[in-house]
Amino acid sequence: MYQAEQISILIITCVLSAAFIFVGSKIRKLSPRDVPKGPLLAVVLGVEMLINFTVENMGKKHGRTMAAYIGSVFIYIFVANISGLFGLQAPTSNFSVTLVLALITWLMIQITKIRENGFKGYLKGFLDPFPLFLIPNIFSTVAPLISMSLRLFGNVISGSVIMGLIYTFTAWLSSFIPFNVAGFNFVSLVVTPWLHLYFDLFSGFLQAFIFISLTSIFIAIEYSDEEENYG
């Protein structure tokens, strides 16, 4: 049996893929002497801001390499968070989706740690500063996976629950309006648009930004060339 989130994931993936292909084809046609205008200018400025963000958090060496991944994750999470405004079930309101997103980041953290320290050094890290710290080190390794997945899921689902309660309350208030035979929720037309502005747009952007910020910081911590990353 299909879940509503699965349909949303399929629609969002197709829309974003088509948008990326379309914008990419337009950018490839630009001459180096051409000045981007309109939506293309916004895309160019967005990419520049993204590269500056990753370079600031991860250093010049790794920031440009990770910019594409960080940007893709941000766009997907943001669009998924605000998809409720378009009548879809937000994929990030399903814990399995946020868990997979956090799992990808967590695997990248572990791969980076192994690449920088070697597999033996990676295993030895669980025994630092001495073997009795094995269990706490295991928990600290798994903690980012749990915290990132639950933080994103919890904030999105809490917004959905709050909006559901508000719609129920405004529907009850609307029932007292004279001659409202059809039971139309008139009160929600006045109250909910402003709340959607916060719970969907602002909160959706904020949660996506927090996720990529934690992703870039957690991965940057594992790089051995700390002087470049933070200098």
Per-residue pLDDT reduced to its tens digit, 155-210: 988 888 888 899 899 888 888 887 776 778 888 888 888 888 888 889 899 999 99
Where would I find the H helices in the chain?
4-28, 39-82, 95-124, 134-174, 186-196, 203-221, 226-230
Where in the chain are the domains? Answer: 4-230
Residue 108, CA atoms < 13 Å, CB-side half-sphere: 19
pLDDT of 10 above 50: yes
Give the pLDDT confidence of 82-117 residue by residue, as tens digits: 988 888 888 998 899 999 999 999 999 999 999 988
User: Residue 130 has what pLDDT?
Assistant: 80
- pTM of the entire predicted model: 0.86
Q: In a 10 Å sphere around its CB, with 0-12 CB exposed, 13-18 middle and 19+ buried, how is residue 166 labelled? A: middle
Q: In a 10 Å sphere around its CB, with 0-12 CB exposed, 13-18 middle and 19+ buried, how is residue 110 labelled? A: middle
User: Residue 225 has what pLDDT?
Assistant: 63
Task: State the amino acid at position 171 in one-letter form.
Answer: A
pLDDT band at 139 (very low <50, low <70, confident <90, very high): very high
Q: Torsion angle, CA of 38/40/44/49, rounded to 10 degrees?
A: 60
Paired tokens of 187: 């009160």
Paired tokens of 25: 């084809």
Cα separation, 104 vs 214, in Å, equals 13
Q: Which of 28-32, 108-112, 132-136 has the lowest mean pLDDT?
A: 28-32
User: Residue 227 has what pLDDT?
Assistant: 47
Cα separation, 70 vs 9, in Å, equals 19
User: Residue 231 has what pLDDT?
Assistant: 46
pLDDT of 151 above 80: yes
CB 43 within 8 A of CB 23: yes
Paired tokens of 179: 């001659």
